[in-house]
Amino acid sequence: MKCFIISDNNDTLIGMRLAGIEGVVVHKRGEVMEALAGAAKRDDIAVVFMTRKLIEQCGEEIADMKLTLRRPLIVEIPDRHGDSRIVETLSGYVSDAVGIRI
């Protein structure tokens, strides 16, 4: 199974390509949904990474897809313009899941 990235900038796409992950750069809402639908139809794609900006742009549709599709797993990633508080975010996820503060 493969991963795929749908990004709003070339820098993120190039970085993921260096890791062996193929993908596309899109900017408009229609392009985002078309790319996501295309990735969902492919049998070889298990995970789709999407930049935060694109997730926010198509929030309702993506939330519905996350609930209804068995595959692919849609994962939000920060891009170069996102906030850099990743440690705080991860600590929050652990805290919520386990119930203890790190």
DSSP secondary structure of 10-50: HHHHHHHHHTT-EEEE--SHHHHHHHHHHHHH-TTEEEEEE
Q: Where are the domains of the chain?
A: 2-98
Nearest to 8 by CA among 48, 60, 50, 61: 50
> How many other CB atoms are found less than 10 A from the CB of residue 78?
15
Global pTM reads: 0.77
Residue with structure tokens 């899109």? 26
pLDDT at residue 78, rounded to an integer: 81
Can you tell me the mean pLDDT for 81-102?
58
**Most confident among 36-45, 52-61, 78-87, 91-100 (mean pLDDT):** 36-45
**CATH 3.40.50.10580 for domain 2-98:** yes
Question: In which band, very low, low, confident or very high, does the pLDDT at 77 lie, cut at 50, 70 and 90?
Answer: confident
